[in-house]
């Protein structure tokens, strides 16, 4: 039997518990809703899980334990988040040290029922997490602005795998009252969206944490005529939109006295919507700090001083608002001793996303006395399919470093650089890797955890679907990053010399290997279609998403091959190029439908600009 996260202790017993039409779920009458224990929510989750697995609907009551029923209770003998699940022939008891623990026990019971049906194997499970903070960071700004119903679906899935923190990251995709020029052409989240999601997450013991760009990555704000002068670089509002520029520039000039009041107002307005006692100010990738307007100050005092003074001001402000400040540690890890200048409760989010990620930053911040979360990644940015093998390797390493340095938590990140073109459903295996290894440090081989996720998440009795997803990513040659960089060079006349070697490799690989990758992808997609019949009927829509992602990888590989011909002025087949342009446009029409089914427009228009430029280029119009 598979259980994710894997429980610390499982003892099997003789016999089975038979679920019948008379089985009743009883909420302990002593479980107090006002104390943050949502007994009716736990019972509803269990009722739904059992109905989906067995077809039987158990009545829900409140009171004392009944014989031969299912009983949910809080026990003072257990620690917070610690639960015990007892399945006996005469009934089932789920008890936890707090409401969250009861819910975790319920989620484990639902996984058991999904594999046993109405005859549940007798056993006793005792379980508690290694890390009390197990988070997921969702980029709601760089491409997709997911709808409230889909965000609730994300929360349900996080709860299923015992993740207890969701960070919702925005730059310009929240409707700030007084920043109309920033969001007027966007489809932002509203206060009502946040308030409802916060309430929903809280009932599932998920802390919804605000995450707001407040230093770097303020592209849209600093591209407005109203606030562009606050940018470290001059003329920020004069340039056309660029995915690459959005990632690399637009840091505030910390020496401008107008900056802090504006950013503090944004923090206060956004933070007020969240019941969480935490706030992530991000403050990462401040690439332009001290490069122009504050150059003299940086030369006189040092960029480290400019950086820590500004971050400290924001952290002190948040602490005064009753919020625990959090920030990403990529800048401060160069001078880790600066962390001593921040309020002592400040959390440093030490990140690293490489498959072979080293522990250097984690160690340096630990030695400097920083309170840390470690932040791995689901590795989806700039790709049509998440790089699951890289994600697995990165997450296992970072969770291992977390144990070594006794960090406060793990925050698994789902970034959307360059438009978040990968479908959010493709991040789910990476999400579960993070959940599994932040709860239980016992590592699992890549193929094994993929088999377990295939069975538990997708109901795939062949246990192959996640492994097939992992294979898809390896066939991508001319990925979305390469497509954007090539487009920006030729359509916008902007490029970085440092990007050119990697772009050249992508073009060359596409030119040489597109046909072979096409054959491989066709085979993978056919295997996925054979697997579909073995999946839970409710999860079979994944096949359509995967087929379209496979088509995207194939098409863009061929686009890269054609661009290679364009660069070399040889091998261009006009008829083939016209056919490819049509395929690209037909694919994108369905892609837009999928995008809009779970999200608002977001950056879809910017993705479309690039797609249509390539279609025009293939027809000789660009």
- For 574-614, what is each residue's pLDDT tens digit? 999 999 999 999 999 999 999 999 999 999 999 999 999 99
Identify the pLDDT of residue 239: 82
235, pLDDT greater than 90: no
CA 445 to chain centre: 22
Residues 6+ apart with CB under 8 A from 474: 389
Radius of gyration of the chain (CA): 25
33, pLDDT greater than 80: no
251, pLDDT greater than 90: yes
Q: What pTM does this model have?
A: 0.96
36, pLDDT greater than 80: no
- Using DSSP bridges, classify how beta strands 165-170 and 133-139 pair: parallel, antiparallel or unpaired: parallel
Residues 6+ apart with CB under 8 A from 229: 256
CB atoms within 10 A of CB 91: 18
What's the DSSP call for residue 170? E
Domain spans, the chain: 9-127, 133-443, 470-618
Task: Give the start-end residues of each E strand in 538-590.
Answer: none
CB atoms within 10 A of CB 344: 9
Q: How confident is the model at residue 35 (pLDDT cuts 50, 70, 90)?
A: low
Q: Report pLDDT digits (tens) over 141-160.
A: 999 999 999 999 999 999 99
Q: How confident is the model at residue 32 (pLDDT cuts 50, 70, 90)?
A: confident
Q: Report pLDDT digits (tens) over 215-230.
A: 999 999 999 999 999 9
Nearest alpha carbon to residue 511 among 569, 573, 559: 559
Q: Report pLDDT digits (tens) over 349-395.
A: 999 999 999 999 999 999 999 999 999 999 999 999 999 999 999 99
- Report the C-alpha gap between 138 and 133 in whole angstroms: 16
Q: How confident is the model at residue 94 (pLDDT cuts 50, 70, 90)?
A: very high
- Report the C-alpha gap between 323 and 317 in whole angstroms: 9
Q: How confident is the model at residue 66 (pLDDT cuts 50, 70, 90)?
A: confident
pLDDT, average across residues 99-120: 97
Pull the structure tokens for residue 237.
Answer: 């509002």
Nearest alpha carbon to residue 454 among 531, 389, 550, 553: 531
pLDDT, the chain, mean: 96
Domain 133-443, classified CATH 3.40.190.80, yes or no: no
- Report the C-alpha gap between 86 and 432 in whole angstroms: 25
Identify the pLDDT of residue 401: 98
Q: Report pLDDT digits (tens) over 421-448.
A: 999 999 999 999 999 999 999 989 999 9
Q: How confident is the model at residue 249 (pLDDT cuts 50, 70, 90)?
A: confident
Q: Report pLDDT digits (tens) over 392-412.
A: 999 999 999 999 999 999 999
Is the separation of the CB atoms in 99 and 36 below 8 Å? Answer: yes
106, pLDDT greater than 70: yes
- Using DSSP bridges, classify how beta strands 59-63 and 24-28 pair: parallel, antiparallel or unpaired: parallel
Least confident of 116-125, 241-250, 464-473: 241-250
Q: Report pLDDT digits (tens) over 331-353.
A: 999 999 999 999 999 999 999 99
- Report the C-alpha gap between 249 and 243 in whole angstroms: 10
Domain 9-127, classified CATH 3.30.40.10, yes or no: no
Q: How confident is the model at residue 34 (pLDDT cuts 50, 70, 90)?
A: low
Quick check: bond before 5 cis, omega within 30? yes
């Amino acid at each position: 039997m598979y259980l994710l996260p894997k429980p610390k202790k499982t003892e099997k017993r003789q016999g089975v518990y038979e679920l019948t039409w008379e089985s009743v779920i009883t909420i302990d009458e002593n479980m107090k809703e006002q104390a943050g224990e949502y007994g009716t929510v736990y019972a509803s989750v269990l009722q739904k899980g059992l109905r989906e697995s067995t077809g039987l609907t158990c009545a829900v009551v409140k009171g004392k334990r009944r014989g031969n029923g299912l009983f949910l209770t809080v026990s003072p003998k257990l620690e917070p988040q610690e639960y015990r699940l007892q399945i006996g022939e005469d009934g089932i008891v789920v008890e936890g040290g707090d409401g969250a623990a009861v819910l975790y026990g319920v989620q484990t019971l639902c996984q058991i029922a999904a594999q046993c049906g109405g005859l549940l194997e007798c056993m006793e499970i005792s379980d508690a997490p290694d890390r009390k903070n197990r988070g997921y960071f969702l980029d709601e700004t760089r491409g997709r602005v997911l709808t409230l119903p889909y965000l609730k679906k994300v929360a349900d899935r996080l709860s299923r795998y015992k993740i207890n923190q969701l960070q919702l990251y925005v730059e310009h995709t929240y409707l700030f009252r007084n920043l109309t020029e920033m969001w007027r052409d966007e489809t932002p989240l509203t206060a009502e969206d946040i308030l409802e999601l916060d309430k929903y997450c809280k009932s599932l013991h998920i802390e919804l944490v605000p995450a707001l760009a407040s230093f770097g990555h303020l592209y849209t704000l600093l591209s407005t005529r109203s606030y562009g002068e606050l940018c470290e670089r001059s003329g920020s509002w004069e340039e056309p939109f660029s995915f690459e520029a959005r990632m690399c520039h637009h840091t505030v000039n910390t020496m401008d006295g107008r900056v802090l009041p504006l950013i503090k107002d944004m923090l206060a307005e956004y933070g007020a919507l969240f019941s969480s006692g935490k706030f992530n100010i991000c403050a990462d990738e401040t690439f332009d700090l001290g490069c122009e307007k504050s150059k003299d100050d940086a030369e006189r005092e040092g960029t480290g001083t400019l950086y820590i003074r500004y971050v400290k001001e924001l952290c002190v402000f948040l602490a005064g608002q009753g919020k625990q400040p959090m920030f990403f540690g990529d800048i401060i890890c160069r001078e880790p001793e600066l962390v001593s200048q921040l309020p002592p409760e400040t959390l440093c989010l030490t990140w690293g996303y490489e498959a072979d990620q080293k522990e250097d930053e984690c160690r340096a911040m630990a030695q400097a006395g920083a309170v840390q979360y470690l932040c791995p990644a689901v590795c989806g940015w700039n790709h049509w399919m998440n790089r699951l093998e890289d994600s697995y390797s990165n997450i296992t390493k970072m969770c291992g470093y977390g144990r070594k340095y006794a960090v406060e938590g793990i925050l698994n990140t789902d970034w959307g650089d360059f438009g978040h073109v990968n479908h959010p459903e493709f991040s789910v295996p990476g999400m579960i890797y993070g959940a599994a290894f932040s709860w239980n440090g016992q590592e699992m081989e890549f193929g094994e955890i993929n088999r377990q996720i295939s069975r538990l998440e997708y109901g795939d009795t062949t246990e192959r679907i996640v492994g097939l997803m992992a294979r898809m990513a390896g066939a991508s040659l001319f990925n979305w990053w390469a497509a954007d960089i090539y487009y920006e060079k030729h359509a916008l006349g902007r490029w970085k010399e440092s990007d050119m070697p990697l772009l050249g490799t992508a073009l060359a690989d596409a030119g040489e290997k597109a046909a072979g990758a096409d054959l491989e992808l066709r085979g993978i997609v056919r295997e996925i279609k054979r697997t579909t019949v073995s999946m839970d009927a409710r999860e079979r829509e994944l096949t359509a998403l995967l087929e379209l992602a496979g088509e995207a990888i194939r098409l863009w590989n061929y686009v890269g091959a054609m661009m290679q011909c364009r660069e070399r002025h040889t091998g261009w087949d006009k008829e083939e190029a016209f056919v490819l342009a049509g395929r690209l446009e037909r694919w994108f029409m369905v892609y837009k439908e999928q995008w809009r089914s779970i999200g608002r427009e977001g950056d879809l228009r910017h993705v479309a600009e690039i797609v249509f430029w390539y279609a025009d280029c293939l027809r000789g119009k660009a």
